């Protein structure tokens, strides 16, 4: 009975966990009331099964995440161009030291990291290639995806980084009106800008970044990979300097 409980509880926990960082999911109407009642009864009688299932699932997820990160790091070392893809880059052209950032234009921690990265890249623009990857947290940031599409569209006219800076430095202004005003201020062809940000190509480019982030197990922003080093959160300049020294050493 306990073995059966473990399987049922594990399935239930798996379904909860998979969507815990996403938009709310509608209940599966295909689950019979009898099965639902059975699972709930098992959990009430054997709460230890739930804890065991959570531990097992966490171990499984951690193992998969470690493998994905190791593969990503290896690709970054052996074939950085494949990892960079069509993503915007700034800094060194040689890609010997590559700093990949997964970010959300509406995330306050990403805004703080942006200021730090500006300082870091100003000093190391000849040593480090910074790569921007989108990971809009749409379940909690309503403007994250529209902002990402707008920045991508600006990039089609060679103005990604200028637009990127405007989004982060004026984060509280994010709105359709702001996207239009910023495009005009940067001298973009606004008609093309609007066509590009509403295009399938914009959706596909952002979706590709999101898929890469999810494969890596990214569950928050900002998230960074510098050559073989993975770190996250609103980093300090000293942290970036220390990581770079480690990479170059």
* Paired tokens of 229: 């080093």
pLDDT 10s per residue in the chain (249 long)? Answer: 444 444 444 444 444 333 322 333 444 556 677 777 777 777 777 777 666 666 665 666 566 667 767 777 777 778 888 889 999 999 999 888 999 999 999 999 999 999 999 999 999 999 999 999 999 999 999 999 999 999 999 999 999 999 999 999 999 999 999 999 999 999 999 999 999 999 999 999 999 999 999 888 888 999 999 987 889 888 999 999 999 999 987
CATH code for residues 80-248 = 3.40.30.10
**DSSP secondary-structure letter at 133?**
E
Contact 243, 229 (CB under 8 A): yes
Instruction: Provide the residue count of the chain.
Output: 249
- How is the chain split into domains, by residue range? 80-248
Closest by CA position to 229, among listed 246, 210, 211, 212: 246
Query: 38 Cβ partners below 8 Å, 6+ apart?
Result: 8
């Amino acid at each position: 009975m306990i073995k059966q409980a473990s399987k049922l509880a594990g399935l239930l926990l798996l379904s909860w966990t998979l969507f815990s960082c996403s938009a709310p999911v509608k209940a599966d109407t295909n689950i019979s009331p009898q099965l639902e009642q059975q699972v709930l009864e098992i959990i009430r009688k054997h709460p230890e099964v739930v804890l065991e299932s959570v531990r097992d699932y966490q171990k499984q997820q951690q193992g998969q995440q470690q493998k994905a990160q190791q593969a990503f790091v290896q690709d970054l070392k052996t074939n950085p161009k494949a990892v960079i893809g069509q993503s915007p880059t700034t800094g060194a052209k040689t890609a010997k030291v590559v700093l990949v950032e997964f970010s959300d234009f509406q995330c306050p921690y990403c805004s703080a990291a942006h200021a730090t990265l500006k300082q870091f890249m100003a000093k190391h623009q000849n040593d480090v290639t910074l790569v921007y990857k989108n990971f809009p947290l749409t379940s909690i940031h309503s403007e994250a995806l529209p902002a990402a599409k707008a920045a991508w569209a600006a990039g089609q006219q060679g103005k990604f980084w200028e637009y990127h800076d405007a989004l982060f430095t004026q984060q509280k202004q994010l709105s359709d009106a702001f996207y239009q005003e910023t495009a005009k201020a940067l001298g973009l062809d606004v008609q093309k800008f609007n066509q590009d940000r509403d295009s399938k190509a914009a959706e596909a480019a952002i979706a590709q970044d999101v898929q890469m982030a999810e494969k890596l197990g990214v569950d928050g922003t900002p998230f960074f990979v510098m050559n073989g080093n993975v770190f996250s959160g609103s980093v300090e300049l000293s942290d970036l300097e220390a990581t770079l020294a480690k990479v170059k050493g």
